[in-house]
A and B are shown apart, each in its own frame.
Chain A
Amino acid sequence: MLNLNDLEDSKMAKRESSFINMVATLVLVTGIAAAVLGFVYDFTKGPIEVAKLKAQTEAIKTVLPEFDELGETMVLSPGEGQDSLEFFPAYKNGELIGTAIKTYTKSGFSGFISIMAGIDKDGNFSGYSVLEHAETPGLGSKMGVWFSNPEKPNQYVIGKNPETTNFTVSKDGGDIDAITASTISSRAFLDALNRAYSTYKNNKTTGDSGQ
């Protein structure tokens, strides 16, 4: 299998493990690795930004299809000690048609879930798009279509308002049917929507409305 000569050659030529040699090798190896990574990072920085922005704009298009212009992004905290949400006010012909909210939950079956949720100017959910999740494929991952199926009114969240509809799963006494065999993912999904809505409402009542 192995050529014995090759093996001996490499053994012979190997640098001695003296202190200086070892330090010099490690410094050199890490230095070169850092330089290469710095170069690649610089090279991919632009495309990564573009890809992220594109994904974000596409998500906003799904939740508020009619918008033609985005207002200034606002960063609002849902409460003391919680990570902030991003608000993207969407305009059509200069008129506010709704707000896209990048919301999140940490209570998914596999932890963090990020969702873009649209709230129209009447306070109803106009749509959502799951940006990031690690839920089980075939189960929790179905949240992308499950809650936007107009043929199943009990699991449909679009056009509903948390003021009039109880945004918890029916198992917990709410009005929304959970994904079959994925109650935890469904709870997490609704948690993210509720977080978006309550922050949206808080922002409205504190007098920042119209922005």
Chain B
Amino acid sequence: MNQWKNFSKGFLKENPVFVLLLGMCPTLGVTSSAINGLGMGLATTFVLLMSNIVVSLVKNAIPEKVRIPSFIVIIAAFVTVVQLLMQAFVPALYKSLGLFIPLIVVNCIVLGRAEAFASKNNVGSSAVDGLGIGLGFTFALVLLGSIREILGSGKLFNITIYPENYVTLVFVLAPGAFIVLGYLIALINRMKKN
């Protein structure tokens, strides 16, 4: 398989957020600012990459009927590793993402890739797939977070762009997440048609 295609599909063709519509809970929950989106995206990318690698390595040793519980344990272990590492070395980011990190375990993207790709492909392709999908997820979260942060609090990555008096508060709130996501999906569908 063409590895570049395998990697780049995560950004547009099979973008987990805009096309597959997976992992909506963290997507809508954390993207109130660009930095949160970036942190969440990178944490998920790490988990995806590692779980894809391990799952593709052990796929033949795991009996068919217990594969889902085994995959979940592998994923949960990596999520806990990320959580501990973030808590130790980037406490500020850990503080702002807090609750959403453990939720990576139940993020359908991670289990979805393990089940649909890594359990059927070799290590190399699975690693590339995990990285591609993960970075595609990160790209989507940063885009969503940036738009919401600019419109909703007049800042981007915490740098003020215009005065707070002109912000449209709804964009940092839950409805704003749905509105921005809806328009982005429409835009991407339009682009994909051309």
Residues of A bordering B, CB below 8 Å: 1-3, 6-7, 10, 13-18, 21-22, 25-26, 29-30, 33, 36-37, 40-41, 44, 47-48, 51-52, 55, 132, 134, 136-139, 181
Q: Are A44 and B84 in contact (CB under 8 A)?
A: yes
Q: Are A138 and B152 in contact (CB under 8 A)?
A: yes
Q: Which chain A residues border B89 with CB–CB below 8 Å?
A: 47, 51
Q: Are A26 and B70 in contact (CB under 8 A)?
A: yes
B122 at interface (Cβ–Cβ under 8 A)?
yes
| Complex alpha-carbon distance, A51 and B88, angstroms | 6
- Out of B33, B88, B95, name the residue touching A137 (CB < 8 Å): B33
Residues of B bordering A, CB below 8 Å: 1, 32-33, 58-66, 69-70, 73-74, 76-77, 80-81, 84-85, 87-89, 91, 95, 98-99, 119-122, 152-153, 167, 169, 172-173
Q: Are A16 and B63 in contact (CB under 8 A)?
A: yes
Q: In the complex, which residue of chain B has the Cβ closest to the Cβ of A12?
A: B60
| Complex alpha-carbon distance, A10 and B1, angstroms | 17
- Out of A10, A30, A36, A181, name the residue touching B81 (CB < 8 Å): A36
Known pairs A14-B63, A37-B77; list 10 more (Cβ under 8 Å): A2-B121, A10-B59, A14-B60, A25-B66, A25-B70, A29-B70, A48-B88, A55-B91, A134-B98, A136-B32
Q: Are B85 and A137 in contact (CB under 8 A)?
A: no
Q: Are B120 and A2 in contact (CB under 8 A)?
A: yes
| Complex alpha-carbon distance, A30 and B95, angstroms | 29
Majority DSSP secondary structure for residues of B touching A: helix
| Complex alpha-carbon distance, A22 and B32, angstroms | 43
Q: Are B85 and A44 in contact (CB under 8 A)?
A: yes
Q: Are A29 and B74 in contact (CB under 8 A)?
A: yes
Query: Which of A7, A18, A26, A181 gathers most chain B CB within 10 Å?
Result: A26
Q: Are B65 and A22 in contact (CB under 8 A)?
A: yes
| Complex alpha-carbon distance, A29 and B119, angstroms | 16
Q: Which chain A residues border B121 with CB–CB below 8 Å?
A: 2, 6
Q: Which chain B residues border A22 with CB–CB below 8 Å?
A: 63, 65-66
Q: Which chain B residues border A13 with CB–CB below 8 Å?
A: 60
Query: Which of A2, A26, A138 gathers most chain B CB within 10 Å?
Result: A138
Q: Which chain B residues border A26 with CB–CB below 8 Å?
A: 66, 69-70, 73
- Out of A25, A33, A44, A138, name the residue touching B63 (CB < 8 Å): A25
Q: Which chain B residues border A18 with CB–CB below 8 Å?
A: 63
Q: Which chain A residues border B91 with CB–CB below 8 Å?
A: 51-52, 55
| Complex alpha-carbon distance, A181 and B152, angstroms | 14
Sample 14 A-B pairs with CB under 8 A, ordered by A number: A14-B60, A15-B60, A15-B62, A17-B64, A17-B66, A25-B61, A26-B70, A29-B70, A29-B74, A37-B81, A44-B85, A48-B88, A137-B32, A139-B169
Q: Which chain A residues border B76 with CB–CB below 8 Å?
A: 33
Q: Are B64 and A3 in contact (CB under 8 A)?
A: no
Q: Which chain A residues border B58 with CB–CB below 8 Å?
A: 29
Q: Are B74 and A3 in contact (CB under 8 A)?
A: no
Q: Are A29 and B98 in contact (CB under 8 A)?
A: no
| Complex alpha-carbon distance, A17 and B88, angstroms | 40
Q: Are B122 and A138 in contact (CB under 8 A)?
A: no
Q: Are A15 and B63 in contact (CB under 8 A)?
A: yes
Q: In the complex, which residue of chain B has the Cβ closest to the Cβ of A55?
A: B91
Q: In the complex, which residue of chain A has the Cβ closest to the Cβ of B60?
A: A13
Q: When A10-B60, A15-B63, A25-B70 are in contact, do A138 and B81 touch as well, CB less than 8 Å?
A: no
Q: When A1-B1, A6-B121, A40-B85 are in contact, do A14 and B64 touch as well, CB less than 8 Å?
A: yes
| Complex alpha-carbon distance, A41 and B81, angstroms | 8
